[in-house]
Amino acid sequence: MTEKELVTSDVAIAIDSCDMEDLLTAIAQDAKKRRNDDSDARPFYAMRLIKENKIGALRVPKALGGGGIQLKELMQVVIRLAEADPDVAHLLRSHFSHVERLIQLGDKTKREQALEKIVNGEIIGNAYTEISKNAAGSSKFETTLSENGENFRLNGTKYFCTGTMYADWVSVMAETSAGKVVSAFIPTDREGVIIKDDWDGFGQKGTGSGTTIFKDVTVYPEEIKEFQEDKKSFNAFLQLILQAVIAGIVRNVVTDAKELVHKRKRTFSYAPAEQPKDDPLLQHKIGEIASIAFAVEATVLAAAESLERATNRTGDYELDHDASLRAAQAKVVVDELALKAATLLFEVGGASATKQSAYLDRHWRNIRTISSHNPTVYKAQAIGRYIINDEKLPVGVVYF
């Protein structure tokens, strides 16, 4: 198979398994078709392409049949996927995070068995979050795993299960009758697993971030892993994936801004040029949007370099903390700049750009939805506390 290249920014990524540019074009066309035909349609076709082209295995070592790309390169792929369809990039977030954990498994046999599923194109979803009195990100769960003869029974309800409705497997966090926290790794089509497409957010509508119910689901002993919270572990990867998705959205904002100007047939009576494309004020706005897109992407990739260093030196607390710090700083900056870019788009298009049929508000809604994960105010405060008092950022609970 011939080697293809995906060019993102100034970096060329070698992709052996597929023609990435053709894939991205197909995903973008599918997203546009869904917007035009039915805004509530879901990216099942795009996910079929993702599975067929083994995009979920890009980080799996080449020796095991994967793409073997570096972590920074994966973030570049996420950015491009988000440019084509932010729902698709976002719903793969848990999958890519699982792959990172699987790559680091100490048991070689279990690692290779698990990664074989990924190389075959299978996708992993999540079922962690519960709406309860426990704080978000807590390691306390109301979902239960109880003994049932030689096996177990899983019961509970999970929310915000992004990507699970497209997944082949799901990782579920639960508590045993003894109060131990465990994860159960089970197929999504097992009897008793009920996946609802009931996410009603105003953005990222196609991510499948709905409810998953587990009703007397059989779980086998080999599918269970006891969870041990690492008091020195950070979780920068999951955060940075979201910022990469936002970076891709802003790239799309630039494209839409350019198209808006070229489609405009008239201008204002007091505009400084007869043609919108020659209007220096519109040129200025698009230049500002494009510069934001560059800054956002560069920030994400700089943070990815810190995360790469930490990933290559597993267990190094200082490198892990630096990666978490950079990811937090990226979030604080990226969220604000991206929302500004999505707003500036309407300065380019005028009142006609606000038509619902134009669907240009999707960028702001999607960015606002993603940026609401792990509120920026907490990230900024933790950064400031570290700068002033040298108090380290809090660790993240890793549910894998």
What are 340-354's pLDDT values in tens digits?
Answer: 999 999 999 888 889
What's residue 109's pLDDT?
A: 86
What's residue 9's pLDDT?
A: 37
- The structure's pTM equals 0.93
What's residue 396's pLDDT?
A: 64
Q: Is 222 exposed, middle or buried (0-12, 13-18, 19+ CB in 10 A)?
A: exposed
Residue 224 has pLDDT above 90, yes or no: yes
Residue 340 corresponds to which tokens in the numbers above? 């500004």
| CATH, range 236-389 | 1.20.140.10
Read off the pLDDT band of 116 (50, 70, 90): very high
What's residue 233's pLDDT?
A: 62
What's residue 271's pLDDT?
A: 79
What's residue 276's pLDDT?
A: 83
What's residue 395's pLDDT?
A: 82
| CATH, range 127-226 | 2.40.110.10
Domain ranges for the chain, please list them. 18-122, 127-226, 236-389
Mean pLDDT confidence for 151-155:
98
Mean pLDDT confidence for 303-327:
93
pLDDT digit string, tens, across residues 166-176: 999 999 999 99
Q: Is 15 exposed, middle or buried (0-12, 13-18, 19+ CB in 10 A)?
A: buried
Residue 273 has pLDDT above 50, yes or no: yes
Mean pLDDT confidence for 101-114:
87
**146 vs 278, which has greater pLDDT?**
146
Q: What string of H, E and C letters represents the secondary structure of 22-88?
A: HHHHHHHHHHHHHHHHCCCCCCHHHHHHHHHCCHHHCCCCHHHCCCCCCHHHHHHHHHHHHHHCHHH
Mean pLDDT confidence for 254-282:
87
Mean pLDDT confidence for 110-138:
88
User: If you classify domain 18-122 with CATH, what class do you get?
Assistant: mainly alpha
Choice among 16-25, 105-114, 140-149 with the minimum mean pLDDT: 16-25
Residue 271 corresponds to which tokens in the numbers above? 């505009």
Alpha carbons within 13 angstroms on the beta-carbon side of residue 42 total: 17
What's residue 218's pLDDT?
A: 98
Nearest Cα residue to 166 out of 129, 130, 212:
212
Choice among 32-41, 86-95, 387-396 with the minimum mean pLDDT: 32-41
Mean pLDDT confidence for 68-76:
96
Mean pLDDT confidence for 127-141:
81
What's residue 137's pLDDT?
A: 64
